[in-house]
Chains A and B, each alone.
Chain A
């Protein structure tokens, strides 16, 4: 299975305050860059013009078939796209990454207490109201060991989750945790109907069963090989959203040529993309319109062996300086990606925007500098050493980036060997330590669950991070991030995370390659989908509809 990694360009969200205050938390507002600090993502849009005309049916392509509709197992683009279309979370991420009320509003009477008040009138598709029991049940499913969900770790500071009123749920924490709000605005925070899930049993979310959520679109059918079909929810609890598309089919289209000809022949009406080799062809076609939105992911080289040559920070820095990132942006991303300054994509500045922008802009762009690279190699005394990069020649993007690393290594006297595995086995690098043996690093396009640079960064720099493969440990970064997690004030938190990012940008536990832009490809008569990476975690089709012209 091809692991098309997406990079998301950062968008500075200045409308954060507006969204937190609004009762609905769901508007198709565009993002304004923060005054006084230029946005790294200027020119990218977080939303597309809202649709105005009804549309009979839309085929929305994803890179492979959706394999589950249960949010606790949603960990990849197809599942996220389907879940976020139909289901809603306790809190909600706006297109620019700002976190606001979702199905509930949040108050924090003290740093270790989160009180969620379910909005009045919020109902599931079957008309039943969302109750505190439903919320508690849905959140607890994430940590139920029998279910083996993928998100238990995000609740590791939670002491208890309890229904505390007719429409109130209280989460008590062992210590303050301001990251939990981001997770509750993402997939782990999706609310399901308890009685329905219990009745479905292990069929919930599988093709043999059904699902029960609260969104503007509801599930019509889930047929593997055909796809996931969603239709408008006639009983949607928010009257200001009127779904315009009578049927959305989320269909797996693994072959990029099939996808491209499908878009050109109107067999497919829309898709989210990144690293698309046929981007130029689609942009130049009059049948198709492409929007570029902020991405939230990073295309990076994961260093998984700190006991080899890459254990020396100067070697990592040398390799980073020698890398031709612009070449990668041009050849792999066809220009739709940013040169990195940090590990995290500037699209993830969902809060503390002016602080982040100022810090980001004061960090150097990771431009190629062969002189510095060679000098660092000399200081490290690592000339002639060998590293092995895990890659797959079947995954064109990954192979191209690995090639760029080979060229970089050659320029500085570092031998770069490539170890190629099949496209399917490539994913084993991420979960199987045996697969990583003998490999010093491998490529990834990786992202966090919500718009915060710390969301991705923490997974590979903190000691217990799920993607920290060789016990990388930098005490200063750890202190900055752990303190940030417990810090209430968004600007102070942004400052701490910025400090951590600055260190990570020189210490290079991973080597960031580029930060991909999020592309939305539409048939010329369709518009209205969210344009930023927020589509992965929050409803993206509430404004989807026809352009009104034929």
Chain B
């Protein structure tokens, strides 16, 4: 399944890049003309004038031999370039996921179980934050916490692990802010719905302590939709990270993908796409496994309800 996804994705992306207007050689020239001979030599070297399927076959054959190719702009191996950036994106997505899951699910559960001012304010806050795109959040966070207050750095990766955490805090929040709202809302709705189910009413009327009712009867059952939305959200973070990486000048795969797609650096785009598709598939598999754990009606290998 993974292999099939990768093959189809790589073909589609290659085709899209091929059809898109633009010229990777142009990215080397900085907006002034370079000698036509140089252009010709570079085009021949990277097979840029060959027909589409021939170019795709060159790339595929290399990949099957474990060679992801060479970046036209940097003249370095794509695998090296990806390896040096993958932990930045992974760290950012992980950090943002933790924020989303902790705060999103936390808020959703608490406001789902109560009514009143807390619930109303959660609704308002999530409505507002759902409307804030990641780059707007980035600008605002930089302005307030980096420039005005100086609590966090405005850009860069940081050096040691603790320094990394400090550098990644604002970007992680920027990335998390709109996804958080969706997770909170879905959690709240799911918890509400479970609270009104008959088996919960039965449990309450039988005198089972509230805490136990919440844990074993409400949350356990509300977990399925929450898992679904969390899985989708985390998977989507992998792509959204690009915007935040650019805004905070982080050395991640997303920013690199954006730049390479813009310069039509084919091998890099294909390589990163393979990584992203794999990550997406892995996250979905993890979600499926979680279903099986949470819902005894579901066994691995069958569809979740």
Contact = CB atoms under 8 A, between A and B. Distances in A.
16 contacts: A1-B27, A145-B37, A149-B38, A152-B38, A153-B35, A252-B249, A261-B155, A262-B154, A425-B21, A428-B21, A428-B22, A431-B23, A431-B39, A444-B32, A446-B32, A466-B34
A225 B76 contact: no
Interface residues of A, number: 59
Given A265-B146, A424-B264, A430 B29 contact: yes
A241 interface: no
Contacts of B33: 430-431, 459, 466-467
Given A427-B29, A466-B35, A467-B32, A255 B74 contact: no
A68 B29 contact: no
A63 B80 CA distance: 23
B147 A255 contact: no
Nearest to B43: A148
A444 B27 CA distance: 15
A223 interface: yes
Given A148-B37, A225-B256, A261-B147, A254 B246 contact: yes
Interface string A425-445: 111101110010000000011
A64 B259 contact: yes
Interface of A: 1, 3, 5, 64-65, 67-68, 73, 75-77, 145-146, 148-150, 152-153, 202, 205-208, 223-226, 251-255, 257-258, 261-262, 264-265, 267-268, 421-428, 430-432, 435, 444-447, 459, 466-467
Interface in B111-161: 139, 142-143, 146-147, 150, 153-157
Contact of A428 (B26, B38, B143, B147): B26
Nearest to A460: B33
A430 B42 contact: no
Given A265-B150, A424-B263, A206 B74 contact: yes
A284 to B, nearest CB: 14
A226 B155 CA distance: 12
Give the contact-size bracket for chain B.
35 or more
A255 B28 CA distance: 19
A145 B139 contact: no
Interface string B35-63: 10111011001000000000000000000
B156 A267 contact: yes
B29 A76 contact: yes
Interface string B4-40: 0000000000000000011101111111111101110
A444 B247 contact: no
A424 B31 contact: no
B248 interface: yes
**CB-CB nearest 6 A-B residue pairs:** A76-B30, A225-B251, A424-B262, A148-B41, A427-B26, A3-B31
